[in-house]
Amino acid sequence: MTVLIKYPMQNLESNEEFFAKKEKEITNLDWARWGGWFDSDGCFTYVENKHMITCRLSLMDRSPVEIFSKTFDVSLSMTQYASKYDKSVNNIPSEKFTAVVNGKKALWFCQKIHPFIINKNNKLNQILKKFNINLSQNYNNMTRDEFISWLIAFIEGDGSFTCTYKKYPALRITSNNNHLLNYIKDRCAQENIVSFGKVILKQKAGVFKMSSKSNVISTRKNGYIVNALKKDNLIPFYNTILPRMILDRKKQIILNHFELFKNYR
């Protein structure tokens, strides 16, 4: 592991200063964005024997994790990561970037982000109950703008800007949670944000061979997808999300889609 950005350890005095500062700096739209990132690539963990929480954000892309690191004054690290598939085909390990919030700051973080967590809401509720905290407000209370902020981050994490077999531009979101995808689909329709099609079961749960080059096997859950198509549907949505996205590689694909749309009426 290589530490790329290092912050000093927290203490009572530094936390009080930090909380007061961030109460003024971080808006609900910001919290909604971090909710989207944590619903896609973050995790909340309760360490029973230490009665403490860790909130971890890990991605192969550095930029969102570095912003998270600098926003919450937590160190940024990089590790060489090889998945089972990478190992089975002798791929070069990938870089994985991680930032972790823990201690008193993690409990504060969980309470602040709770109203903007959808996919991992039950998990977060269970953790907060360990500290006798029950919060009545949840993701259903998000405003339209807050939900869009959540959605942009979630799409950057678990979405893709792709093309159908006929090379028509499409927005696709993938998840093991079909209830989440249906919620996104229905909320987007209700708020007139973007129109998604039917949630489809793309892959069934089971055991599968990871590569024809080896005998490595793995298990997988059901995988679901939902797509948004059509030029008139996607262009207004792209114009909304593009200025607020972080990942340059995905922003470039949207720009490529704009070029492709010129070939369609």
* Residue pLDDT, tens place only, 5-30: 999 988 888 899 999 999 999 999 99
**pLDDT tens digits, 151-165:** 999 999 999 999 886
**Mutual orientation of helices 28-41 and 144-158 as an angle, nearest 10°?**
30
Q: Can you give the pLDDT at residue 86? A: 65
Q: Can you give the pLDDT at residue 36? A: 98
Q: Can you give the pLDDT at residue 87? A: 66
Q: Can you give the pLDDT at residue 204? A: 64
**229-250 mean pLDDT:** 96
Q: What's the whole-model pTM score?
A: 0.90
pLDDT over threshold 60, residue 32: yes
Q: Can you give the pLDDT at residue 167? A: 81
